[in-house]
A = this chain, B = another copy of it.
Amino acid sequence: MHDFMLHRPTRLLFGEGQIARIAEEIPEYARLMITYGGGSIKQNGVLEQVYRALDGRFHVEFGGIEPNPSYQTLCRAIDLAREEGVDFILAVGGGSVIDGTKFIAGALRYDGDPWDIVAKRQRLVFDAVPFGCVLTLPATGSEFNEGAVISRPETGDKLDFHSPNVIPRFSVLDPTTTYSLPPRQIANGVVDTFVHTTEQYLTYPVDAKLQDRFAEGLLLTLIEDGPRALEEPENYSVRANIMWAATMALSGYIGSGVPHDWASHMIGHELTALHGIDHAQSLAVVLPSLLRLTREAKRAKLLQYAERVWNLREGSEEQRIDAAIEATRGFFERMGMPTRLSGHGLDGSGIPTIVDKLVEHGMVALGEHRDITPDISRQILENAI
């Protein structure tokens, strides 16, 4: 096991009706800003529950944070927050709203050009406005970690930043807020959570037995309850398991003390930036192809994955690895997710541009061994056509 430091001070409030408790979590005289996305929280009653909990307290609102939150939109939120003297933020939404809120919170206490926070690839956020979350879309784990991903569509950039100062003070996880999500968003959340887990698990063994077993527990839970989340949208238990899995997958509890990959994410981010396909859809395309190309480096963990997650115990090592990769592909497809570029109507002509963007963003040595060069990224994408 590698050394690690783990600190997750977020207060997690899990269960139906927990939104009612946010008033205890937000300072009474805060100058509060509520951030949200496209307005679905107005239709499904979540914003109504937030208002009821706040019971007339001061707040301003900033809606319209889009999927893959854009720098331009967030700058408008920063301006509004400055004008209103905002000193606490409540993010109500999924990973994009929470990631955007992390950027707003950090930028409000950062003196330079806010774009530096992501562009300079350094840890520049030494302070941030405190914020809490009401999660409505289980997927990114942003509600319980220190990372965020910000996009700038006009330049085709999609970049992450990390800071211990943007860990939420609290996060409300009420599985019933996910009942009204469209199937595509549930599928995205399940696949995103699955790939978050494999990025921290399908690398090479370091005898971190508990992290491995926890990762396998996450994957098995998603395989069992992911399809049921599509079939039975109001099954509380199923939605609760999916929501808790999404939070735990990127919480640090499976990722501490082990090597990380993240190549699928880095390549996938460029796919999303160029072609606009959903984040999880990009992962479902990249991961199976990546696993095939990196099978030697990942051999021991792929065999463990085959046995413990897919119960594949027969046949040669090659056969078990092939079967595990195909089972992964089959799971994504069962979640309604194409696993090839052609499934998204793409013919691969964008691949050179994607590879150029990887190089531009410094993503020239990806994966747990830092050996996924731009040329290998290109092969991964070509094999995924």
In the complex, given contacts A207-B237, A209-B221, A210-B248, what are 13 additional A-B residue pairs having Cβ atoms less than 8 angstroms apart? A1-B237, A1-B244, A3-B14, A3-B16, A5-B11, A5-B13, A209-B224, A210-B221, A210-B241, A213-B214, A214-B217, A240-B257, A253-B253
- From 1 to 18 in chain A, residues with beta carbon under 8 angstroms from any chain B beta carbon are 1-16, 18
Q: Which residue of B lies closest to A221 (CB)?
A: B209
Q: Which B residues are CB-close (under 8 A) to A3?
A: 14-16, 18
Q: Which B residues are CB-close (under 8 A) to A5?
A: 11-14
Contact call B7/A12, Cβ cutoff below 8 A: yes
Chain A, residues 3-46, CB within 8 Å of chain B (1/0): the string is: 11111111111111010000000000000000000000000000
Question: This chain: how many copies in the complex?
Answer: 2
Q: Which B residues are CB-close (under 8 A) to A15?
A: 1-4, 257
Q: Which B residues are CB-close (under 8 A) to A199?
A: none
Q: Which B residues are CB-close (under 8 A) to A4?
A: 12, 14-15
Contact call B210/A218, Cβ cutoff below 8 A: yes
A residues in contact (CB < 8 Å) with B: 1-16, 18, 206-210, 212-214, 216-218, 220-221, 224-225, 237, 240-241, 244-245, 248, 253, 256-257
User: In the bound complex, what is the Cα–Cα distance between A16 and B248 (angstroms)?
Assistant: 26
- Interchain CB contact (< 8 A) of A1 among B2, B8, B241: B241
Q: Which B residues are CB-close (under 8 A) to A12?
A: 4-7
A84 CB, nearest partner CB in chain B, Å: 29
Q: Which residue of B lies closest to A212 (CB)?
A: B217
A12 CB, nearest partner CB in chain B, Å: 4
Q: Which B residues are CB-close (under 8 A) to A2?
A: 15
Q: List 13 A-B contacts (CB under 8 A).
A: A1-B14, A1-B241, A4-B14, A7-B12, A9-B9, A207-B241, A209-B225, A209-B241, A213-B214, A213-B217, A213-B221, A214-B214, A216-B217
Q: Which B residues are CB-close (under 8 A) to A7?
A: 9-12
A15 CB, nearest partner CB in chain B, Å: 3
Q: Which B residues are CB-close (under 8 A) to A253?
A: 248, 253
User: In the bound complex, what is the Cα–Cα distance between A257 and B248 (angstroms)?
Assistant: 14
Closest 10 CB pairs of A and B: A213-B217, A3-B15, A9-B9, A207-B237, A209-B221, A1-B240, A7-B11, A6-B12, A209-B241, A4-B14
User: In the bound complex, what is the Cα–Cα distance between A253 and B13 (angstroms)?
Assistant: 13
A95 CB, nearest partner CB in chain B, Å: 19
Most B CB within 10 A of own CB, among A1, A16, A207: A1
Contact call B213/A216, Cβ cutoff below 8 A: yes
User: In the bound complex, what is the Cα–Cα distance between A10 and B10 (angstroms)?
Assistant: 11
User: In the bound complex, what is the Cα–Cα distance between A209 and B224 (angstroms)?
Assistant: 9
Contact call B256/A208, Cβ cutoff below 8 A: no
Most B CB within 10 A of own CB, among A12, A210, A244, A253: A210
User: In the bound complex, what is the Cα–Cα distance between A244 and B213 (angstroms)?
Assistant: 13
Q: Which B residues are CB-close (under 8 A) to A224?
A: 209
A360 CB, nearest partner CB in chain B, Å: 36
Q: Which residue of B lies closest to A6 (CB)?
A: B12
User: In the bound complex, what is the Cα–Cα distance between A151 and B130 (angstroms)?
Assistant: 41
User: In the bound complex, what is the Cα–Cα distance between A155 and B233 (angstroms)?
Assistant: 56
Contact call B244/A257, Cβ cutoff below 8 A: yes
User: In the bound complex, what is the Cα–Cα distance between A225 and B208 (angstroms)?
Assistant: 11
Q: Which residue of B lies closest to A13 (CB)?
A: B5
User: In the bound complex, what is the Cα–Cα distance between A244 and B3 (angstroms)?
Assistant: 11
A165 CB, nearest partner CB in chain B, Å: 14
Q: Which residue of B lies closest to A15 (CB)?
A: B3
Q: Which B residues are CB-close (under 8 A) to A13?
A: 5
Q: Which B residues are CB-close (under 8 A) to A244?
A: 1, 208, 210, 257
Q: Which residue of B lies closest to A224 (CB)?
A: B209
